[in-house]
Structure 1
């Protein structure tokens, strides 16, 4: 009997949530056949059978949280599979006959187990089908070897929505003739909808745990400042022709990444962390910038590795691709781990300032807020400038307030005068 223990499929993963079993007890499986989908820290992983055989026992249900190293199912390998117990089968046949059930004994006595038949699809497509409330086992795949694609799921959903729409129309006609009953049902429904309970699980639970860990461990201090964006906007517009030639959408974010990296090299404690086990400060000489991205599953932080080694256009292209993968749920563990500093760009949504929560175990996070034209005083005269606020939350164990202000001043200097940013890029 082979015991399958939940492996560590991430970096330091301690537990995972059973999202979906792809087999049942008694199913025959092949080696490397997908068995179960598990959600780890912000990504889904599809685990496969280590050997061919029969699934004998499943120890956890969908939605259960399981610690790494715990046995989640067992497989009776092919070489050690027991012969069918025909005595038990005959007994079951007699019981069914006694309650007047017609039984064909031959296929029962000759099949000790059944072959599991399962649609061929990636974890992303399966998750997409669940969210669209589509039974993926009913979808016909158009991909190689019958693999189900995203378009197959969408096509199935559209076709079945039409059928359901007709059924709904017929249901409504019936309800029109039962208006007193309908009114009673609706009145009761209003009363029943005062509360709704949703399980705190999956990515949302991981985010909650991460936020509690950060706030309870790190003494947060937030410094807010503003900067003029007029010169940077003009500089970005001048580069538009080049970005269009490269088919790259150029935003302000890549300029912030470059300015932050330059400032981090000068103020090393903002690119650091504390090893609480050894009581050491770890100063990092690599620059992996996390970009907080809002998705329907929650806040995901894809990471730009070695941001100091990439130019503005490379950063813009990578930011766009990572954001798209995050929203589609296609990021790998490597793409969401290892950040040394995080940017949270909430400007497109709005807001003047905030207290962003540090992405533990990092030392700081910078939130970028909305741009707007404001009246400001320059040379004792009121003028209109394109302004933007930024909020820096930092770990007060590592960083003093003076250092934080110097850090944001350096970022302001580089962005308010983009020629300096260009000169200092390396």
Structure 2
């Protein structure tokens, strides 16, 4: 018997260290080739680390939440034959308890090859595994959203069989549990006192989001500008196009029109389609418009990028937005798809509220926030009429963008959306 050591792979892009997010195996487990061992978190995305060998786990190299250097020992596996190390001590055994986290694997870059064995290359997650029985004190793997779903439904998670990797419980598992009519714990009485507490480690994607939000608010000089827009005409155009072409080209939401409005308006405001390197004191203005579309997922806010929006039609933009949003929500967006934006569009849809103050997605200098559409009485030419109104709540980096330019930029978007034919006049 020998020992096969798997080291933290080189994810690429000059990354020197990554965060160990969750283990999918424990000491003593038997593993097979290509089985996912752990999830690691880079600055941009979550990556699965598979096993290049068959064998038995004899040591784990770290705890979830620990930042590990590329090249450090991740895991040691006892294998048939000589293994890939000689007289080298394995990683110190680590007792790893399940940690509340919900990571989904993006499409990753190649990892560092392990000698004498198949390289540990990040791959997609394996097919759902058979669930295992849980003791009363065992904490099953589930995302915060799934835990809230279970709490609202009065379900004890330890009684639910998970179909995700390592037995992780998904929303579909809760739905199946309810559909089967399985006995469940009663939900807390409406007026009963509660004394339970829950500690959730801030690791993985949630820690990255927290760091980026804090960094953005500390470094950039934020200011926000809110404008009301009459979207009655553009909504009528959207409905007409969907009725005429929806079956053959797909349904259009308002987002592709907003992307088009950004593209056209930015022609006159190149200083807003820019990135600011505040350490080098350099502003880079881009000709290409790479629109980040803020997307909520189970692991938190992600911003996939619609590249070269200036070269896309309405339906092309709509298809790309839908594809990227689906990839982000399912944890399949790659690092390339989550980076490189030049301006960000954020929307809470029907929950958009009246006004918001979006946080910049550094190193960008502008983010355009979309609030909900509501019908309001408006006075037009002395007559009170009902119109569909929507606010744009946008933020800018005052170090780069002057207040007047920001206001004129949003007014340009307003003019384009209120006269939607101008979106397509060259």
1:313-362 deviation per Cα after TM superposition (whole angstroms, max 9, x unaligned): 11112222322332222322222111111111124114111211001111
2:323 aligned residue: 321
Counterparts of 1:376-391 in structure 2, within 5 Å, are: 376-391=378-393
**CA spacing shift, 1:261–1:160, aligned 2, 3 Å:** closer
Residues 1:232 and 2:231 are matched in the alignment: no
Taking structure 2 as the reference length, the TM-score comes to: 0.72
DSSP 3-state at the match of 1:7: coil
- In the alignment, what sits opposite 2:402? 400
Partner of 2:25: 22
Of 305, 308, 311, the match for 1:306: 308
Give the whole-Å Cα distance in 2 for the aligned partners of 1:76 and 1:282. Answer: 51
8 Å contact from structure 2 (residues 223, 397) kept in 1: yes
**1:112-151 pair list within 5 angstroms:** 122-123=124-125, 130-131=141-142
Distance 1:383 1:135, change over 3 A: closer
In the alignment, the residues of structure 2 paired with residue 226 and residue 157 of structure 1 have an alpha-carbon distance, to the nearest angstrom, of: 41
**CA 230–33 in structure 1, closer or farther in 2 if over 3 Å, else same:** closer
Contact 2:160 2:174 in 1 (8 A): no
The one of 167, 176, 182 equivalent to 1:158 is 176
What's the TM-score once normalised by structure 1's chain length?
0.72
- Per the TM alignment, residue 11 of structure 1 is displaced from its structure 2 partner at its CA by 4.8
Who wins on radius of gyration, i.e. which is larger? 1
- Structure-1 residue corresponding to 2:214: 212
Question: Per-residue deviation at 1:48?
Answer: 2.5
d(CA) in 2 for partners of 1:37, 1:357: 28
Q: Do the aligned residues in 2 keep the contact of 1:292 with 1:343 (CA within 8 Å)?
A: yes
Q: CA shift at 1:247, angstroms?
A: 5.0
Shift of 1:162: 4.3
Bigger helix fraction:
1
Q: Distance in 1 between matches of 2:413 and 2:171?
A: 46
5+ unaligned residues in a row in structure 2: which ranges? 85-122, 132-140, 147-156
Partner of 2:295: 293
8 A contact 1:19–1:39 mirrored in 2: no
In the TM superposition, residue 46 of structure 1 has moved relative to its aligned partner by: 1.4
- Aligned length in residues: 359
Provide the residue aligned with 2:265 in structure 1.
263
1:37/1:54 Cα in 2 relative to 1: closer, same or farther (>3 Å)? same
- The aligned counterpart of 1:196 is 198
Task: Give me the whole-angstrom Cα distance separating, in 2, the residues matched to 1:313 and 1:29.
Answer: 44
